[in-house]
Structure 1
Amino acid sequence: MRVLGLMSGTSHDGIDSAVVDWSPDGDVLTGVVEHTGTRPYEGRLRERIAGALPPGPAGMAEVCRLDTLIGQAFADAAEACGPVDLVCSHGQTMFHWVEDGRVRGTLQLGQPAWIAERTGVPVVSDLRARDVAAGGQGAPLVSYFDLLLLDGLPGPSGALNLGGIANLTVRDARTAYDTGPASALMDAAVSAATGAPYDEDGRLAASGEVHEGLLADLLAEPYYRAPPPKSTGKELFHPGYLAERASPYRPALPDLLATLAALTAETVAAEIRRHRLETVVVSGGGARNPVLMSMLAARAGDARIVPSDELGVPADAKEAIAFSLLGWLTAHGLPATVPGCTGASGPRVLGAITPGAGALRLPEPLGEGPRRLRFTAAAEAGGAGAAG
């Protein structure tokens, strides 16, 4: 079954896509990654998304417009990927409602009907809400994928994704949580000072020095000491949060970015050290930032930091590939959450399904999910896999 995963994360810079042909064989699920890519948001749409994110005001009229415009942008991205059997669309998270450590609601925009109309195939969407309704954090949903991916690695291992927010999955403890900001605050600083979306290749950060006083104040944030399961987003780590904490120090932009890179490296490395991980598989845009990765390696003790590419999963597309898997699981009637990772009362089948053209036809339900993932190059698989 060829499933297209579509994902836009907390960096809200564009839509990541991955087409994976999934084939079950006993307890092993083989994926042939046939396509990965990124489609940047049109500039004005990205500005409107940024303007509607907390703490910016957004009335219901703007919410309706964004739901449509984001849905149309996702439909454009889906159409460009060619024919598939199913689409799984994460949409764009606009608000993650957390009170006293408990997630009470979460909102992803990007009306799936636009994707279904454009592609003619069923669309799985709104994947986080069911986990939240079951008492979970609704994040990180990629933990199910991570645990399968990490199976078989020697020693204690974990999977780290460095997007706008950093999240860590720990295999042996079967836990997962957001550790704090990855690129969210760095991107906010660059955008405010230069208008650019991010610090390309970490060049500005590389020319700066860590401001130890500011770093100490940033590390005093209570979120870092809260026990998992926990999740966060730009509701907490937004531009105003950064401006308030940085203003007493008035750092130059390179020094601010070096300090924010150190913040991400230290908050992630503290969790790596706490779990005594020996191998950490890294993905996300932050994995391409040499300054951040160097700081992380220096703080992570003896842990071996490896890109997810070494396991057959392109680092820039891991979350899109993971959502392709979640769509496959939902289509086969299988739960896609791990209660120890999200805090839910039990595993749940995720999402709502919008039919494509004609009658809705789904595969026969499976009795149990896979225990391992195996990725095969498209050339090795002959460019096609068995239907799942």
Structure 2
Amino acid sequence: MRVLGMMSGTSLDGIDVAVVDFTRDAADPSTLRARMLHTGEEPWPRATQDALRAVLPPAPADVAAWNRLHAAVGDAFAGAAAAVLARHGGADLIATHGQTLHHDVTEDGTVRATLQIGDASRIAETTSLPVLWDLRTADVAAGGQGAPLAPLLDQLLLGTGGIPTAVLNIGGISNLTLVGAEEVLAGDLGPGNALLDAAVHAATGRGADLDAEIARTGTVSRSALETLLREPFYARPLPRSTGREHFDGGYVRRQLGEQALEALTLPDLLATLVELTAVTIARGIERTPARRVVASGGGIRNPLLLERLAAHLDPIPLHSADDLGIPADGKEALLIALLGHHGAHGIPGTLERPDGTAHTGARRPVVLGSLTPPHGLRTLDSAETDHLPVHRLVLDPPGAEA
């Protein structure tokens, strides 16, 4: 089965796309083989990107704005899919995460609702392919956090090596999966790039501090850092989730106060926020039995953040996913393609814990996603083994035989 997976995170830096061939291993059907035909990033239409940033918290937005964005994001994803398919051939299914606009977490950590937009009908209309979408709400309906979704991929790729491993993703929000231990543990750790990018955008209009050029010239404010580390979210046990609804563009101002924030230069503010991200990630990992960390996501492109994280983690080694043959820049789109494969074959997209609950805290693992059009996979050839549970995922080299 060939799946095109698409993902856009809270940083809104681009639409990640992967085209993946999935086949069952002939000798061991519980092993799924994945041949990655393409990984890359397609640009957002600038007007849509700007409109999305304009409605993200704490900005107010009415239902008309969200309705129009649902259509515009659908068009953007449709264009990205069509461009990739034109260059790399067809697919059996498109799986799309869409763009998260709201993740509703109560004060006690319960998730009431989650909303990802991006009209799947527009993607299906443009590509003439079935589209699996809405990948989080079934888990929330079952009492889960709806996040993170990465543990499925992390466990299948890295959970069988016997080394307790913290698989870290640093996007707008940072999250981890602990695999290779007695029990899979997962959840959001705190702000990854979200606060950094918001501060840069507010001060300069740029989307990010590329290569930490500004942050490197600053000095960490210990008093500001101590204040920010008092955030109650960091004390919640895993599984837990958060988003830009909490760590929004006004978060630092609310926590520090107007006077303290204005006393910081932009370089000092960014240096402090880099340190905040490094410290909160390291503290989250230190609470686990992890003996190595494997990182991916946009945050690993920030060399200062990697330096500070490695220093706080020492002696636990920090690796890029690329070091283990996993494409760090394409990992999230690969995950969405895998969830598409699983959803199409009725296989749960969350992991079962020893007590029968899901890694997200849901009452049970559930199949994720909704299909557009409803009959879209009726003609898909399916072998008996396609519906069996998957215990391992092997990434084949791009040039390997299908």
TM-score range, shorter chain: over 0.9
1:309 maps to 2:313: no
Shift of 1:313: 2.0
RMSD between superposed Cα atoms in Å: 1.5
Residues 255-277 of structure 1: per-residue CA shift (max 9 Å, x gap): 11111111111111012111131
Query: Which of 375, 394, 398 is the matching residue for 1:374?
Result: 394
Shift of 1:363: 4.4
Deviations 1:230-258 (A, max 9, x none): 10000000011122234332211111111
Superposed displacement of residue 359, structure 1: 7.3
1:31 corresponds to: 34
Post-superposition CA distance 1:287-336 (Å, at most 9, x none): 11110000000001321111111232211121111010000001111111
User: Which residue number in structure 2 is paired with residue 7 of structure 1?
Assistant: 7
Q: Which of 170, 177, 191 is 2:187 aligned to?
A: 177
Moved over 6 A (4+): 356-359
- Does the 8 Å contact 1:94/1:108 carry over to 2? yes
| Cα deviation code 1:72-118 (max 9, x no counterpart) | 00000000111211110000000001112100100000000111111
Report the AA paired with residue 16 of structure 1.
D
* Residues 327-367 of structure 1: CA deviation (Å, up to 9, x unaligned): 00011111111244200111111110003997733443644
Who is 1:117 aligned against?
125
Identity, % of aligned positions: 47
Contact persistence 1:332–1:362 (CA under 8 A): no
Question: How has the CA–CA distance of structure 1 residues 271 and 358 changed in structure 2, closer, same or farther, with 3 Å as cutoff?
Answer: closer
Give, in whole Å, the separation in 1 of the partners of 2:390 and 2:104: 32
What amino acid maps onto 1:86 in structure 2? L
Stretches of structure 1 that go unaligned for 5 or more consecutive residues are none
Task: Report the counterpart of residue 248 of structure 1 in structure 2.
Answer: 259
After alignment, is 206-215 or 35-44 more displaced?
35-44
1-structure distance, mates of 2:388, 2:378 = 22
Aligned residue in 1 for 2:203: 193
Report deviation, 1:37: 1.1
Q: Give 2:10's aligned amino acid.
A: T
Contact 2:173 2:194 in 1 (8 A): yes
Give the equivalent residue in structure 2 for 1:267: 280
Query: Which of these residues, 165, 173, 189, is aligned with residue 165 of structure 1?
Result: 173
Q: Distance in 1 between matches of 2:373 and 2:76?
A: 19
The residue type paired with residue 50 of structure 2 is E
TM-score computed with the length of structure 2 as normaliser: 0.92
What is residue 150 of structure 1 aligned with on the other side? 158
Q: CA deviation at 1:68?
A: 0.3
Match of 1:345 in 2: 363
Which letter maps to 1:207? T
Contact 1:150–1:158, Cα closer than 8 Å, also in 2: no
Distance 1:350 1:258, change over 3 A: same
Query: Please, which runs of 5 or more residues in structure 2 have no aligned partner?
Result: 352-356
Structure-1 residue corresponding to 2:354: none
Structure 2 counterpart of 1:132, one-letter code: V
Instruction: Please give the residue correspondences for 1:280-299 in structure 2 after superposition, counting only pairs within 5 Å.
Output: 280-299=293-312
Please report the TM-score for the alignment, with normalisation by the length of structure 1: 0.95
> Structure 1 358/10 Cα, relative in aligned 2: closer, same or farther at 3 Å?
closer
Distance 1:356 1:330 in 2: 13
The residue aligned with 2:346 is 333
The match for 1:226 is 236
Select which of 136, 139, 150 maps to 1:128: 136
How many residue pairs are counted as aligned between the two chains?
A: 382
